[in-house]
Amino acid sequence: LDGTYDEANAFALILQGKIPSTKLYEDEHSYAFLDIQPQSKGHSLVISKWSKARNILEVEDEALAQVMATVKKVAIATRKALNPDGIHVAQFNGAPAGQTVYHLHFHIVPRWVGGPTGF
């Protein structure tokens, strides 16, 4: 759970436009885009555009509030677009918990009855 923010992590490069991404939503503080290896159709990720938090343990309250407001917007838009039966909102801290990219992010994963339940 310890470590320093890597300025060249994949999501930092996405924010800089150095790695392409499929944008779903953006505002002054947050960015939402499709996951490159989706667990289901419409799997997306939401990140802060300014916080250099690696995980939820170190995020500023303001950045967290901004990101969660966007998580809610994207979840609502995902329901409207895809009519899933459920939606996972998930966030991992540390490699043993499944974290692979060390820029705080929230997964929004649509789920359907009979489909994978995930993670």
- What are the catalytic residues? 105
Per CB under 6 A, the list member of 2, 17, 28, 37 interacting with ligand 5GP is 37
Backbone angles phi, psi at 14, to 5 degrees: -60, -45
106 contributes a contact to ligand 5GP by CB under 6 A? no
Per CB under 6 A, the list member of 3, 23, 36, 65 interacting with ligand 5GP is 36
Residues 45-84, interacting with ligand 5GP (CB under 6 A): 45
* 8 Å CB contact between 11 and 55: no
Adjacent-strand bridge partners of 31? 26, 47
Per CB under 6 A, the list member of 4, 83, 100, 117 interacting with ligand 5GP is 100
Distances (CA, A) of 14 to 50, 74, 91, 119: 13, 18, 19, 24
**From the CB of residue 33, how many other CB atoms can be counted at a distance below 10 Å?**
21
# binding residues, ligand 5GP (CB under 6 A): 14
Residue ranges that bind ligand 5GP, judged by CB under 6 A: 10, 19, 21, 33-37, 45, 92, 98-101
